Amino acid sequence: MEFTAEMIAGFLGGEIVGDKAAKVHTVSSIEEGREGSLAYLTNLKYEPFLYTTGASIVLVDRSFTPSQSVAATLIKVDDAAACVLRLLEMYNAAKPRRTGISRLASISDQAHVGKECYVGDFTVIEEEVTVGDRCQIYPQVYLGRGVTVGEGTILYPGVKIYEGCHVGKNCILHAGAVIGADGFGFAPNAEGGFDKIPQLGNVVIEDNVEIGANTCIDRAKTDSTIIRRGVKLDNLIQIGHNVQVGENTVSSAQTGIAGTSKVGRNCFIAGQVGIADHVTIGDRVVIGSKSGVDKGIPDGEVRMGYPAMPGLRFHRASAVYKNLPELQKRVDELEKALKNLKNEQ
């Protein structure tokens, strides 16, 4: 779709500086801006790019005054960052929705697919599955027996949801996500091998959850692995059996949460964090990247490092660690001087 500066300014309540008829059909960063794109300046360290960008329109804060001439049309708004988000949401909503059920999809006669749904090629929907209205199910998705998918949810290509699992409303599961595979449960036996522990529970994903590509959420041994409403999980995350993740918690890529651990509400977990089994993490906790968490964390705390420690202590320890070679040299020199003093006595 194509938008003019006048249309965008009207939608955002902005002020136009330049050509009100300037048109855009896509969005770009200010560094990579090209003709026909809308860019934005939300951080003044990128201001030099404003004077060289090829973008046709640039959003800026109302208080901003250029120090040089600008070729692009400017739209001044109260909060450029917030307005960018609004425009992206508007642009995304304007994209045409796919509709119809492919003749190459396999849908059980005992399944129910709601109104205005899209089901792509080679999708398999087994018996007793319920899919809500206005869902978008892309090619090669698998929904096992008894799965429920809430209305408005999007399942991108290759998503696999094992039997008995539940996905709420308005969720987004990206390509290759696996929901409900067996938890990693094995018991040593008398022969020195391992016997598989049956995983009889399921996974429950509440409303407005987004799950990244190739993320795996294991089914519970009994009861449910639960991802509460509003959770956002990045790509390549592993969630073990019987884990519970609290509302509006977010996690970056390559995090692993071992079985039966509980993560509270509104937590931020950075990339490559490892959380041991049976750990309880409170609400509003922040965990830095590559941290290893093997003990519980109270509400509102910050943890960093391996093993994870309070943030301030971690920074102090890091400062010492960087100076270890020099400190070792000083210790060697002091020991040598002390030895010489003893020899002189």
Active centre residues (catalytic): 241
SS3 content of the chain, % helix, strand, coil (to 5): 20, 30, 55
Distance CA 259, CA 220 (A): 9
Residue at 298: amino acid letter: P
Strand partners for 262? 244, 280
Neighbours of 264 (CB within 10 A): 21
Distance CA 290, CA 255 (A): 8
205 phi and psi, to 5 degrees? -115, 120
Residue at 205: amino acid letter: I
> E-strand spans in 7-157?
15-17, 23-24, 26-27, 37-40, 57-61, 73-77, 100-101, 106-107, 112-113, 118-119, 124-125, 130-131, 136-137, 142-143, 148-149, 154-155
Distance CA 125, CA 134 (A): 16
Strand partners for 280? 262
Q: What is the DSSP letter of 183?
A: P
Task: For residue 307, say if its preceding peptide bond is cis, omega within 30 degrees of 0.
Answer: yes
Distance CA 50, CA 57 (A): 10
